[in-house]
Amino acid sequence: MGIGRLLDISVRTMATYQRALDVASQNISNAGNADYTRQKVLLSTEETQAGIGMGVKIQDVQRIKNDLIDTQIRKYQSSISDAEKRSTMLQQVESVIAEPSDSGLAAYFNEFFSAWDQLTTIPNSTQYRSTIIQKAQRLSERFQEVFDGFSDVQATLQKEASVKTEELNNYLKQINELNQKIYESEARGIKASELKDKRDVLIDGLSKLTNITVQMNEYGAAVVNVGGIQGADQNVYNEFEVTFVNGKMRIVSKNDQNATIILNSGELFAITDLYSNKIPEYKQNLENLANVFIEKVNEYHMQGHTLMENGSSSTGIPFFGELDTNGNVIDAFVNGQININSDVLNDPKNIAASNVADNDGNGTIANSIAGLADAKVSELDNLSILESYNNILNSFGTEKVISDDKIESNELVLQQLSNQKASYSGVSIDEEMTNVIKYQRSYEAAAKLVKVVEEMMDTILQMV
Amino acid sequence: MRITENILSEKYLYNQNRINEKKLKIQTQLTNNSKLDKLSDNLSDSLDAINLDSQIRRIETFQKNIVNAKDYLNATISSLENVADETQSIINQVINSDNPLNAVNFDTITQSVKGSLQAIVQSLNEKRNGMYIFGGTDFSDSPWEIDANGRAIRTSTTVTGEIKVQLTQNIKDTMNVTGDKIEDTDLIDTINDILDSLEAGTVPDDTLKGRLTDAYNSVVNLQSLNGDKYNRLEDIDILLDKQLTDTQDLLSKKQDVDQAELAVELQYQDYLLQLSYKLASTILPKSILDYL
C-alpha cells in the first residue's frame, strides 16, 4: 500500500466527518423547531480495494420519520379540530340561550304562565292583564333573541366556511408547488428534507380543516385526497368553493360542482354540519315549541270571553297572531318572533279570561292557560311545554358536552402521539452533542493521520 | 423512548395549561358563586336547576294566589259579619215588636228593620278589587237591590259563578261565596216577610221568628265555613313555604358553590403550578452542554 492511499483515506475521513458535523449542526440548530424532522448520517465502510480497506463514507443522510404516527396524528388532529370548532360555535349558542339563569326562556315561560295564574284571583283586573301582555312581550323578545342568536351563528359559520375553504385551496396549491420542487430536487440527487418538512406542516394544517388521505407516489409527491376528491399531487391541485343546495352547505370543486367533499372530520366538517344540520335542527325544535305554545294558548283564548265593553264581552280573539278573512290565525310566529294580537296589545281588556260571555269574574280560561305550564301536550310527545324546552336544551347541551369530552380525550391521545413523534423524529441535544464529540474526535484522528503521513514522507525524503 | 427537549417543554406547557384551565374555572365559579354558569358546565345539574327554578316560581305564584284569595276571603268574612250583626239587630227588633209596650213603636221598628235590610243588602253588594263579593262572576250589576217598597230583591244578574284559584299544582279551590249560597240561607226572603208582617201591623209569628233564627245561624255557619277555608289557606301557605324552602335548598345544592372547598382547591392548583414552575426551571435548561 502506498503512503498516498493513507492520505486518501485521511482526507476522505475528514470530509465524511465534516459532512456528518454539518448534519449534526443542522439538527442542533433546529432543536427548537417542532416541525423539523431530524436527520441521521448513515456511515459505512468504503469498498475495499484488493482486500485493503479504503476508509469511511456517508452512505445516506436519512430523514427519521414514522409515517404511521403522522397518519394517526393527522386523524386525531382532524377530530380535535372538528370538536374544537363545534365547541366554540356551540359556546356562542350557549351564551345566547343563557340557561340556567333568570334570562333564559324557561324563566320567561314561567313568568308568562304565572301572570295568567294571577289573573284567576282577580279575573276582572286590567292591571293583571297588562302584566300578561308585558310578560308575553318579554317572552317574545327572548324568543327573538335566541332565534337571532342562532341566525348570527349561522352567518358566522357561512363566513368561516369561505375563509376555511380559501385556506384549503392555499394549502393544496402550496402542496402542489412543494411536490414539484421536491421532485425536481431529488431528481438532481439533492435531498429535499427541508422541503418535505414544509410539506408536512402544510399537510398537518390541511388535516385540521378536513378529512384527508395522503399517499406518496413514485415521484416522491404527496397525493392528497380531500374527502374523496383529489386535492393535489405534483401535477395539479384542485380548488374548492362553498355552495348551498336546499339550504345545506356544501364544499365542492370549482371545476365540477357535482364533486362534493364528503366531510367527516376537521373544522370544515364542524362548520358545514352545524350550519346545515345542527343549528337548523335547534331552530326547528324551538319553532315547533313556539307554534305548539301559540296554538295551545290561542285554542283556549279564542274560546274565552273578554272583559265587558259597552255592556258585552267579545270572543274569538286569538292571543297571538291576527285573524285572516277566513277566521284563521296568521302571522303568530314570523322569523322567530312571536306576535301578540294587535287588539290584545292595544287594549288589555281584550284578554279573554272567562269561559262564559259577559262574566268578568270568571277566570276559567285564564286558569286553563296557566295550566299549560304543566299540561302534557300530545303534539310535544306528551310532554309539557317546559319539559319539551328542557329536551331541546338537553339535545343541544349533549352536543356541546360530547364536543368538550372529545377534545379532552383526543387531546390526551394526541399528546401521546406527538410525544411518540417527537421521540422518533425530534432532535435530542444530548444525542447530537455526543455525535458532535464523536465526529470531532474522528476528524481529529484523521487529521493526526495526515500528520503521521507527513512525517513518514519527511522520513522518506531524508532517506533520498 | 428518546426524550427530546421538545417533549419536555411540550409536556410542561400542556400540564401548565391544564392547571391554569382548572384555576380559571374555579375563579369563575367563585366570582359567580355558581357551579352552573352555562349548560355544559354540568348538563344534568343545569337541567335539574331549570326544573327546580320553575318549581320555585310556581310555588311563589301559588303563594301570591293565596294572598289574593285570603284577602278576598277576609272581605267575605267581614261582609258576612256585618250581615250577621244586622240580622241579630233584626232579631232584637222582632223580639221588641212582640212586646205589647212597643205597639206604639211599630213603625219605628219597621223602619229599623228596613234600615238593617238596607245595610245587609249593602254588605251583600260589597266589592273587592271591583268584584261583587257575593255576585258570582257576573259583575255587570249589583246582585241585590232595595225596591220601592223597601224590600230586598235579586237583580237579574246571575250569582252562581265560582271564582276558582289554583292553590297548589293539584289543588284548585273556589274562593268566593256565591250569591245562591246567601239565597239558600233564606235570609232575604225571611226579612222581606217580616217587613210584610210588620207593615201589616202584625207581630211576626213564631214560624217567621224560627226562619229568621235559622237564617241567622246559616249566615254564621257560612262565616264559620269561610273562616275554616281561610285557615286551610294558611295551612296550604305554610306547606308551600316548606316546599319553597326545600326546593330552594335543592337548587342551592345544585348550583351554589362551596366557597371554602373551592378556595382550598384553588390553593392546591396554585401549589401545583408553582411546583411545575420549579420543576421546569430545574429540568428544562439542563443538557450535556452544561457539562462540556
**B9 pLDDT band (50/70/90 cuts)?**
confident
Amino acid symbol at A348: P
Q: Which string of DSSP letters, residue by residue, matches A130-169?
A: HHHHHHHHHHHHHHHHHHHHHHHHHHHHHHHHHHHHHHHH
pLDDT per residue as tens digits for the range B131-140: 999 999 988 8
Does position A234 have pLDDT exceeding 90, yes or no?
A: yes
**Given this model, what pLDDT does residue B245 score?**
97
A433–B49 CB contact, under 8 Å? no
**Given this model, what pLDDT does residue A343 score?**
96
Contact B161/B174 with Cβ under 8 angstroms?
Answer: no
A120–B255 CB contact, under 8 Å? no
**B281 pLDDT band (50/70/90 cuts)?**
confident
- Spacing of C-alpha B243 from chain mean position: 13
Helix ranges (H only) for A188-237 are 193-209
Query: Among B9, B17, B54, which would you mutate to test the A interface (most chain A Cβ atoms within 10 Å of its Cβ)?
Result: B54
Percent of chain B with pLDDT over 90: 76
Does position A51 have pLDDT exceeding 80, yes or no?
A: no
Average pLDDT over residues A253-277: 96
B54–A371 CB contact, under 8 Å? no
Does position A313 have pLDDT exceeding 80, yes or no?
A: yes
Q: Which residues of B touch A91 (CB under 8 A)?
A: 38, 40
A114–B172 CB contact, under 8 Å? no
Cα dihedral B229/B235/B241/B244 (nearest 10):
-80
B135–A361 CB contact, under 8 Å? yes
Q: At A49, phi and psi to the nearest 5?
A: -120, 120
Q: At B147, phi and psi to the nearest 5?
A: -85, -175
Query: Among B38, B73, B255, B287, which would you mutate to test the A interface (most chain A Cβ atoms within 10 Å of its Cβ)?
Result: B38
Contact B88/B216 with Cβ under 8 angstroms?
Answer: yes
Please indicate if any CB of chain B lies within 8 Å of the CB of A228.
Answer: no
Q: Which residues of A touch B6 (CB under 8 A)?
A: 31-32, 34, 422, 426-427
Query: Among A121, A349, A413, A435, which would you mutate to test the B interface (most chain B Cβ atoms within 10 Å of its Cβ)?
Result: A121
Give A215's DSSP letter. E
Question: At a CB cut-off of 8 Å and minimum separation 6, what does A23 contact?
Answer: A39, A40, A41, A61
CA atoms within 13 A on the CB side of A248: 10
Please indicate if any CB of chain B lies within 8 Å of the CB of A126.
Answer: no
More confident position, A324 or B3: A324
0.90 exceeded by the pTM? no
Q: How far is CA A312 from CA A298, A348, A349, B66, B133, in A?
A: 21, 15, 12, 30, 21
Cα dihedral B46/B49/B53/B55 (nearest 10):
120
**Given this model, what pLDDT does residue B5 score?**
83
**Given this model, what pLDDT does residue A1 score?**
56
Among chain A residues, CA nearest to B53: A107
Question: At a CB cut-off of 8 Å and minimum separation 6, what does A5 contact?
Answer: A52, A54
Please indicate if any CB of chain B lies within 8 Å of the CB of A391.
Answer: no
Amino acid symbol at A448: K
Contact A302/A328 with Cβ under 8 angstroms?
Answer: no
Nearest CB to B7: which of A114, A374, A426?
Answer: A426
**Given this model, what pLDDT does residue B138 score?**
87
**Given this model, what pLDDT does residue B102 score?**
78
Q: Angle formed by the axes of helices A67-97 and A193-209, to 10°?
A: 30
Average pLDDT over residues A168-182: 97
Contact B123/A344 with Cβ under 8 angstroms?
Answer: no
Amino acid symbol at A274: L
pLDDT per residue as tens digits for the range B96-117: 888 888 777 888 999 999 999 9
Q: Mean pLDDT score of chain A, rounded to an integer? A: 94
Cα dihedral B183/B189/B194/B200 (nearest 10):
170
**A458 pLDDT band (50/70/90 cuts)?**
very high
Q: How far is CA A334 from CA A339, B5, B135, in A?
A: 8, 60, 43
**Given this model, what pLDDT does residue A29 score?**
93
pLDDT per residue as tens digits for the range B187-236: 999 999 999 999 998 999 999 999 999 999 999 999 999 999 999 999 99
**A46 pLDDT band (50/70/90 cuts)?**
confident
B47–A390 CB contact, under 8 Å? yes
Distance (Å) from the alpha carbon of A51 to chain B's nearest alpha carbon: 39
Amino acid symbol at A150: F
Nearest CB to A393: which of B39, B61, B140?
Answer: B39
B5–A429 CB contact, under 8 Å? yes
**Given this model, what pLDDT does residue A48 score?**
76
Among A269, A280, A274, A282, smallest CA distance to A89 is for: A274
pLDDT per residue as tens digits for the range B19-74: 999 999 999 999 988 889 889 999 999 999 999 999 999 999 999 999 999 999 99
ipTM greater than 0.95: no
Q: Which residues of B touch A90 (CB under 8 A)?
A: 40
pLDDT per residue as tens digits for the range A93-152: 899 999 999 999 999 999 999 999 999 999 999 999 999 999 999 999 999 999 999 999
Percent of chain A with pLDDT over 70: 100
Question: At a CB cut-off of 8 Å and minimum separation 6, what does B152 contact?
Answer: B117, B120, B121, B144, B145, B146, B188, B191, B192
Q: Which string of DSSP letters, residue by residue, matches B131-156?
A: EETTSTT--SS-SEEE-TTS-EEE-S
Average pLDDT over residues A295-315: 94
Question: At a CB cut-off of 8 Å and minimum separation 6, what does A283 contact?
Answer: A147, A150, A336
**Given this model, what pLDDT does residue A193 score?**
92
Does position B93 have pLDDT exceeding 90, yes or no?
A: yes
Cα separation, A351 vs A363, in Å, equals 11
More confident position, B1 or A35: A35
